[in-house]
């Protein structure tokens, strides 16, 4: 059954927000990397950045994990989602937010 929102005063938050682990293999001089970072920053999503500039082993690891050979390569909870274009495509399709965070409701479901 739906409940009316409280008329005022503090609201008790009963949902726990679990953020995904976001990793990005990037290079300092890469415009696509800056663009991808700008989107994550705008969405206030924390991410781990691996600078693979001149780092052959890092690039090998990036590809071994299922990423492509260009930078950036972005992983969300270990899943390779592709580069900058794919990140923006997910955002445009409204599919990025569900990947980035999962809202877990501690209570049961109504209805």
Ligand X SMILES: N[C@@H](CCC(=O)N[C@@H](CS)C(=O)NCC(=O)O)C(=O)O
Find the binding residues for ligand X in span 21-50 (CB under 6 A): 30-32
Q: Which is nearer to ligand X, 47 or 72 (CB)?
A: 72
Under 8 Å between Cβ of 60 and 25? no
Q: Which is nearer to ligand X, 16 or 48 (CB)?
A: 48
Total residues contacting ligand X by CB under 6 A comes to 9
How far is residue 62's CA from residue 75's CA, in Å, rounded to a whole number?
Answer: 9
Half-sphere exposure (CA, 13 Å, Cβ side) for 80? 16
Q: Which is nearer to ligand X, 71 or 103 (CB)?
A: 71
Q: How far is the CB of 94 from ligand X (least distance, A)?
A: 19
* Residue carrying the six token digits 């109504």: 110
Q: Which is nearer to ligand X, 65 or 106 (CB)?
A: 65
Other CB atoms within 10 Å distance of the CB of residue 73? 27
Find the binding residues for ligand X in span 67-96 (CB under 6 A): 70-72, 83-85
Strands, E assignment, the chain: 15-19, 22-26, 48-51, 73-76, 79-82, 101-105
> Is 61 an interacting residue with respect to ligand X (CB under 6 A)?
no
Footprint on this chain of ligand X (rule: CB under 6 A): 30-32, 70-72, 83-85
């Amino acid at each position: 059954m739906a409940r009316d929102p409280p008329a005022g005063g503090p609201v008790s938050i009963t949902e726990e927000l679990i953020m995904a682990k976001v990793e990005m293999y990037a290079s300092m001089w890469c415009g696509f990397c800056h663009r991808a970072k700008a989107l994550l920053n705008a969405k206030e999503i924390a991410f781990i950045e691996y600078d693979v500039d001149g780092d052959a082993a890092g690039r090998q690891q990036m590809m071994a994990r299922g990423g492509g050979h260009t930078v950036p390569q972005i992983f969300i909870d270990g899943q390779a989602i592709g580069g900058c274009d794919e990140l923006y495509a997910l955002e445009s399709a409204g599919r990025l937010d569900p990947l980035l965070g999962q809202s877990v409701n501690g209570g049961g479901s109504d209805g």
